[in-house]
Amino acid sequence: MTAPAITGLGVALPPSTAQDELWDGYFSRHYDGSRRGLARRIFANSGVTTRHAAVSPLIEDVSEWSTERRMRRYQTEIMPLGKAAISRALADAGLAAGDLGLFAVCSCTGYATPGADILLARDMGMSPSVQRLVVGHMGCYAALPGLGAVSDFVAARGRPALLLCAELTSLHLQPPGSRTDVQQIVSHALFSDAAVAVVVTDSPSGYAVREVAAITDTSTADHMTWEISDQGFRMGLSPRVPAVLATHVRGLVEQVLARHGRSIADVDGWAVHPGGPKILDVVQEQLELPAAALAESRSVLAVHGNCSSPTVLLVLDELRRRPVPPRLTVMLAFGPGLTLYITLLEGSTLGA
């Protein structure tokens, strides 16, 4: 039986702004007193040079908005991004929206009913019988369980599926009362907006999805949080996260590869979610990888920032644009739980 495979990928991004411009034009005033110098260092050492924002603080300050107002804006802004990513992924796969049997949406930055899944299915011309799945509040690793779900659908039903990961982190700029919180400074320095869609079919071409696996260390559940407040969603990001990843990442990678008769040395493509520079440093060190192995992950962090769930798919998009795309790819993403997700892909015929 042919394994489900990623046969199309589409990216949509809101306007980009330089990190230095964001600092000089807004965040240098958001922090005052003793925290300003610390915040400046965090921004400078974030590994980010440009970021995307559907709602830029240089134009519109949402930090005092209510959660209701942010959610209404989410519905407005997510639609054009989602449509563009879906259209590009379908064109890349050579399919029409009406061909889809399942449409899944991953997002942790906005909620409403009827949601983006219903409205996008309607506007994109998907069949009234298309099945829909919404994956919410899983955070930065959501693309991988989402990919597992659509792959299982394709394997069971033999029909194409599409996964959309779309996040608007810019809507969750926190108010001045939280500006001295170091975790909020880190969040404000890293996060960005993006939408990425992937089409999965039972085609023998593309990137075959060989396995999706995970490990969750619930003893560290408080290390990464995403809490709904009266003024948007508030990030909690412990500096101990890299140490937890260091404990688990090599064992998880080796176990999955061993089940397929492979080792770390056989992997020629690494799509690692760039949660921040220290995350990438830990993965590189624990897996004993050369610097070049994570070049695409570091490039995505620099050019796009941390876009939450779409980010690891942005790295995959970079990998497929190599002159010689990888044959065996490991995707790694991390998030609340504390959870590590891994996906093993094989093949390199996905067009760019």
In terms of C-beta density within 10 A (0-12 exposed, 13-18 middle, 19 or more buried), how is residue 296 classed? buried
Mean pLDDT for the stretch of residues 252-262: 98
**pLDDT at residue 17 is higher than 90:** yes
Per domain, the residue ranges of the chain are 5-201, 207-346
Contact 237, 186 (CB under 8 A): yes
What's the pLDDT score for residue 179?
44
Does residue 140 carry a catalytic annotation?
yes
User: What's the pLDDT tens digit per position in 124-153?
Assistant: 999 999 999 999 999 999 999 999 999 999
Three-class secondary structure of residue 169 per DSSP: helix
The rounded distance, in Å, linking the Cα atoms of 142 and 145 is: 6
Contact 160, 86 (CB under 8 A): no
Angle at CA 163, nearest 5°, toward 334 and 329? Answer: 55
Please indicate whether the domains covering 5-201 and 207-346 agree at the CATH topology level: yes
User: What's the pLDDT tens digit per position in 81-123?
Assistant: 999 999 999 999 999 999 999 999 999 999 999 999 999 999 9
Q: Which of 106, 108, 140, 307 is catalytic?
A: 140
The pTM for the full model equals 0.96
Mean pLDDT for the stretch of residues 147-161: 97
Mean pLDDT for the stretch of residues 340-347: 97
Three-class secondary structure of residue 8 per DSSP: strand
Three-class secondary structure of residue 232 per DSSP: strand
What's the pLDDT score for residue 175?
84
DSSP string, 113-158: SS-HHHHHHHHHT--TT-EEEEEES-GGGTHHHHHHHHHHHHHHH-
What's the pLDDT score for residue 335?
94
Mean pLDDT for the stretch of residues 190-211: 96
CATH class held by domain 207-346: alpha beta
5-201: CATH, from 1.10.1040.10, 3.40.50.880, 3.20.20.70, 3.40.47.10: 3.40.47.10
**pLDDT at residue 351 is higher than 80:** no
**pLDDT at residue 177 is higher than 80:** no
